[in-house]
Amino acid sequence: MEDLPESEIVRTSVPGPNGSVVDVIVEAVAELQGRSALDLPPLTETVDGDALDSLFPADSVEVTVSFTFDGTDVVVQSPATVHVSLADD
């Protein structure tokens, strides 16, 4: 039986107080696509990374940001959950 690639990856935390949700997104997208994070285009070509990092983790308010990055749908929800899935064509 052939192993099928994952169609969705969920991360439920951002590492430490100096952790970056941008790093979590890039690593999850690379894993989903079976590529190195270094082979992806810069996330900053799609979204403002500093603004994204300033929103998460957001413990006191509900925040959801969604966008498509390199053929992958990304949804980030507070306090710090990242969902990535292959974008529909």
| pLDDT tens digit sequence for 23-37 | 999 999 999 999 999
Would you state the pLDDT for residue 5? Answer: 54
Mark the ranges of the chain whose per-residue pLDDT is less than 50.
Answer: 1-4
Residue 60 identity (one-letter amino acid): S
Would you state the pLDDT for residue 44? Answer: 92
Would you state the pLDDT for residue 43? Answer: 95
Would you state the pLDDT for residue 67? Answer: 96
Give residues with Cβ within 8 angstroms of 29, minimum separation 6. 37, 40, 69, 70, 72, 74, 84
Would you state the pLDDT for residue 89? Answer: 64
